[in-house]
């Protein structure tokens, strides 16, 4: 490892030789391929990766909590997941300019000669390769996943989850390896002949981040809806005021007859309710967001029966949790678990109406779950059974 | 400094190993190899395709007037185009009417135009101000 300090990355020797031989181009003509610029951009990139990692951790915890965490997940704030997953995808978009500019700055380093000086140097270069690969792939997977395109031969979630740890680790290691350059950056303030050029690059980077954010963030930030020009979702103006992720047809749910449909309640005093009976139970309203794992979200007015009232009906013990089963026949998330604190919550509804109308079939007719602070994939639609589970 | 540096580095290695374990233990047998190939592919797509392309453009831009504003504008346009690319290239119709429902090619053109406009305005303002600072530098009417 060479502790570069703040000298310019030296251009590859072959490029100098080429130039001496009269090659037309100066390969890296600007002066910004230097450690100082690398640190200036890298701190923002590092912060972005950290935000994505932490918000991703929240998403993973909510979807796969394990026994210990399940009963400790908070139900407040109701917009918790909306915030974290919205931030995840907003930051993810911002990583595109940050990552590409960072890689542009350090690109000449790819051609250092000799390519490998020592075992340590080889390990260092390998860790950088892992860092670059994981960062590029992680952002690529995320951005392509949210347009609902899955061109890779593996499933997204477990790979994105594993890569998140690889990327976090490679980032930490990288910061440790580059500590001298980072320290020199902070010490070196004030003596900077390239200052204006670098500031202009950083301003351009800021413009890119700002623009990318502006035209996509309205997926989840309601005041930006009108400038949502390039996001996969624009939640306003959709069916019943709310986008749909999986339609009834995709889930293999055909017409549900309001006459023959029954809600099965399994518990100490098992019970069946028709839709008419369900409508005669006390109805409650809740204004809650739907927040999709894909990073869009929107608030809606829901009304229906409190899940805790239903569980009382079947004599569930206090502190019971519930398993919700859907009519859907295709795709994941047919069953969801409601931990005790979500069952107890007065805002957790078996919703029958959305924004003042009966749920449409694609929104889960005749009945769906809506609970605070949960990913949309767990807001089970087309509910057929609610089981008390201890 | 040094103990902190070592701690950070070791934490990093530990997290990378944890990730590798998650990949091997948490996915079907063929997946780790696939992911390794895609990682290599991502690096190659960047290092052999995108980066040389950008450097080539940069080599031209470097010689142009107002290169700083131009660089900012091109960077912005490139990134906006890149994030739209998955939508434009995705095969098949959207899964339902509430997703991918905007006119993306048109919107992309609009955003590109707005960025160019903003950059030109910036350059114009800066030139005007420069002229204002040095009224005798150029003749009247320029
Ligand atoms: C580069 C840094 C990133 C890191 C460290 C990261 C990390 C994570 C983690 C840990 C999860 C939870 C996975 C799980 O539930 O097992 C997650 C989920 C997710 N991430 Fe990222 N992510 C990154 C970038 C992105 C980007 C750029 C996007 C898209 C714009 C994105 C989109 C998603 C989506 C859609 C999910 C939900 C997956 C699901 O539950 O089905 N991520 N991310």
For residue range A327-370, list pLDDT tens digits in order.
Answer: 998 878 899 999 999 999 999 999 999 999 999 999 998 999 99
Residues in chain B: 142
Residue of A158, A225, A247, A249 to mutate when probing chain B, most B C-beta within 10 A: A158
Count CB neighbours of A157 within 10 A: 18
Taking CA–CA distances from A237, the nearest residue in chain B reads: B98
B16/A173 touch (CB, cutoff 8 Å), yes or no: yes
CATH 3.90.420.10 placement within chain A: 240-389
Q: Dihedral through CA A348, CA A351, CA A353, CA A358, nearest 10?
A: 170
On whether ipTM exceeds 0.90, the answer is yes
Atom 20, ligand 1: residue with shortest CA distance = A142
Residues of B in contact with A29 (CB under 8 A): 58-59, 62
Among residues A275, A291, A285, the alpha carbon closest in space to that of A382 is found at: A275
**What is the reported pLDDT for A8?**
53
Radius of gyration (Cα) for chain B, nearest Å? 24
Indicate the pTM of the whole model.
Answer: 0.92
Q: Of A236, A224, A197, give the one whose Cα is nearest residue A93.
A: A224
Look at residue A17 in the predicted model and tell me its pLDDT: 56
By residue count, chain A amounts to 390
Ligand 1 pocket check: which of A88, A158, A294 to mutate, most ligand atoms within 8 Å of Cβ? Answer: A88
Domain A240-389 class, CATH top level: alpha beta
Closest residue in A to B43 (Cα) is A133
**pLDDT digits over A89-123, tens only?**
999 999 999 999 999 999 999 998 889 999 999 99
Q: DSSP assignment of A132-193, as one string?
A: HHHHHHHHHHHHHHTTT---SSS-HHHHHHHHHHHHHHHHHHHHHHTHHHHHHHHHTTT--T
| Distances, alpha carbon A199 to alpha carbons A36, A42, A43, A235, B35, in Å | 12, 14, 15, 37, 37
Q: Is the Cβ–Cβ distance between A329 and A339 less than 8 Å? A: no
Q: How does pLDDT run across B78-114, given as a tens digit for each residue?
A: 999 999 999 999 999 998 888 998 999 999 999 999 9
* Lowest-confidence pick of A143-157, A228-242, B107-121: A228-242
Q: What's the mean pLDDT when you consider all of chain A? A: 90
User: Any idea which residue has 């997946």 for tokens?
Assistant: B31
Nearest-atom index, ligand 1, CA of A145: 35
A88 alpha carbon – ligand 1 mean position (Å): 7
B88 and chain A: CB distance < 8 Å anywhere? no
Per-residue confidence (pLDDT) for residue A189, from 0 to 100? 65
Q: Do A103 and B23 touch (CB under 8 A)?
A: no
């Amino acid at each position: 490892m060479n502790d570069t300090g703040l000298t310019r990355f030296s251009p590859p020797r072959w490029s100098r030789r080429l130039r001496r031989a009269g090659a037309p181009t100066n390969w890296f003509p600007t002066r910004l391929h230097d450690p100082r610029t690398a640190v200036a951009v890298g701190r923002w990139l590092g912060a972005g990766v950290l935000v994505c990692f932490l918000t991703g951790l929240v998403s993973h915890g909510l979807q796969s909590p394990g026994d210990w965490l399940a009963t400790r997940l908070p139900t407040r704030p109701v917009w918790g997941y909306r915030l974290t997953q919205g931030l995840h995808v907003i930051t993810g978009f911002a990583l595109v300019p940050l990552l590409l500019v960072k890689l542009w700055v350090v690109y000449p380093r790819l051609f250092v000669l000799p390519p490998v000086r020592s075992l340590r140097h080889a390990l260092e270069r390998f860790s950088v390769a892992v860092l670059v690969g994981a960062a590029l792939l992680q952002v690529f997977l995320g951005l392509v996943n949210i347009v609902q395109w899955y061109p890779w031969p593996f499933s997204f979630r477990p790979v994105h989850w594993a890569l998140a740890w690889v990327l976090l680790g490679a980032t930490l290691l990288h910061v440790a390896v580059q500590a001298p350059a980072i320290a020199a950056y902070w010490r070196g303030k004030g003596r900077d002949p390239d200052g204006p050029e670098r500031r202009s690059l950083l301003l351009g980077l800021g413009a890119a981040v700002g623009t990318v954010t502006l035209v996509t963030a309205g997926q989840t930030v309601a005041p930006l809806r009108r400038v949502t020009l390039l996001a996969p979702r624009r939640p306003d103006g959709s069916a019943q005021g709310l986008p749909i992720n999986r339609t009834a047809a995709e889930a293999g749910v055909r017409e549900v007859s309001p006459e023959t449909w029954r809600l099965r309640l399994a518990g100490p005093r098992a019970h069946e309710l028709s839709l008419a009976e369900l409508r005669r139970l006390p109805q409650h309203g809740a204004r809650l967001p739907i927040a999709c794992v894909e990073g869009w979200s929107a608030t809606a007015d829901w009304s229906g029966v409190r899940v805790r009232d239903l569980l009382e009906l079947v004599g569930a013990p206090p502190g019971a949790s519930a398993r919700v089963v859907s009519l859907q026949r295709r795709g994941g998330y047919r069953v969801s678990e409601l931990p005790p604190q979500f069952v107890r919550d007065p805002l957790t509804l078996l919703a029958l109406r959305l924004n003042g109308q009966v749920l449409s079939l694609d929104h889960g007719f005749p009945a769906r779950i809506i609970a605070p602070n949960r990913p949309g994939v767990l807001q089970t639609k087309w509910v057929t059974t609610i089981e008390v589970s201890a | 400094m040094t103990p902190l540096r070592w701690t950070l580095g070791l934490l990093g290695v530990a997290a990378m190993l944890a990730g590798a374990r998650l990949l091997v233990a948490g996915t079907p047998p063929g997946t780790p190899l696939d992911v390794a190939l895609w990682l290599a592919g991502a690096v190659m797509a960047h290092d052999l395709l995108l980066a040389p392309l950008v450097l080539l453009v940069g080599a031209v831009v470097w010689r142009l007037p107002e290169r700083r504003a131009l660089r900012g504008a091109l960077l912005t346009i490139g990134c906006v185009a890149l994030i739209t690319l998955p939508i434009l290239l995705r095969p098949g119709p959207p899964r339902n009417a509430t997703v991918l429902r905007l006119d993306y090619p048109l919107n992309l053109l609009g955003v590109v135009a707005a960025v160019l406009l903003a950059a030109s305005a910036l350059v114009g303002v800066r030139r005007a101000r420069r002229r204002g600072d040095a009224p005798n530098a150029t003749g009247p009417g320029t």
